[in-house]
Amino acid sequence: MAWFLGVDGGQTSTIAAIGDEVGRVVGKGVAGPCNHVSGPGGRERFLRALGESVRAALAQARLDPKHLRFTAACLGFSGGPDDKADLVREFLHAEVLKVTHDAEVALSGAMAGEPGVIVIAGTGSIAYGRAADGRTARAGGWGYLFGDEGGAFDLTRQALRAALRAEEGWGPPTGLRDRLLELTGARTANELLHRFYTTEFSRDQIAALSVIVDELARKGDRVAMEIIERAGQQLAELGLAVRQQLFARDELTRISGVGGVFHCALLREHFIRCVCAAPNTSYVEPQFEPALGALIEAYRLVGLRVLPRIEEPSVTGSAEGML
């Protein structure tokens, strides 16, 4: 029996999926984030998250890790493969191995391996596409200092900027200020600004505060609504920029979106509206999650054109044993 592995390693979780040669998904496992390798303890955290997710998938599949060598494996990671590929090769046994970025496996999952464009909006944002001839292109993904428009960190940044303007009297009033102060315990928006510059708040913690923008937008706060609508437009612009690089104007093109930011209904609706306003462009729901997109890519490494079939949808935690 031939076994295939797909892994999606992101800023919030690492998900592994194991399939057989006909596409049947026999095991899935989830562990913590594995996006940061550099810095103190980064290597250990990366290997722990990868190991826990893969071992959990093996346990659910009832496969013995001591005697298993994958026929092919594809692993996509947030931040790209450059600082992770060697670590993966030390850890994983596979006849054919591909280590890539998370946008590629997200695209493969959303489009079931077919051409199109994916917009990813989690903590940050990026758009990535692939044409029928294999050409690829990207837009965004510049990081929180210079980009990530429409991502969760940027939503919080825009909320704080609006709160500061309101506090200083040169911006419209908004409930964002009071909610930010309530959730953080800060006395003023200016105090919160300075606390955000310290190590007290991580990027992920700042990004997590973006939920208040959605919350207040749903309650009709005009400033929050404008932030959400602008984010949806910016994410659509990223996707359309990739479309322009890869596809002719008269070529029918599909764009999809994945990531936690799209859980915001108002943002998602505005994103879809902006995407569909472009000529010969349509929005499609993702067909498979990114981990299964990685599995699709693993199949294609050995020339198999099969799609995953989920028969055991539950996701387990880590299992004992070494791979």
Which pLDDT belongs to residue 6? 94
- What is the reported pLDDT for 322? 30
Bridge partners of residue 70, in order along the sequence: 94
Taking only the tens place, the pLDDT of each residue in 201-210 is 888 899 999 9
For domain 113-286, give the fold.
Nucleotidyltransferase; domain 5 (3.30.420)
- Could you tell me which of 36, 141, 57 has the C-alpha nearest to residue 312? 57
- Give pLDDT tens digits for 236-282: 999 999 999 999 999 999 999 998 999 999 999 999 999 999 999 99
With residue 231 as reference, give the H or E element that holds it: helix 222-246
Q: Which two tokens stand for residue 270?
A: 């505005």
> Under a CB-based contact definition with an 8 Å cutoff, are residues 142 and 148 in contact?
yes
The domain locations on the chain are 3-105+288-310, 113-286
Domains 3-105+288-310 and 113-286 share a fold: yes
CB 256 within 8 A of CB 285: yes
What dotted CATH number matches 3-105+288-310?
3.30.420.40
> Is the whole-model pTM more than 0.75?
yes
Find the radius of gyration of the CA atoms of the chain: 21
Quick one: tokens of 248? 């002719």
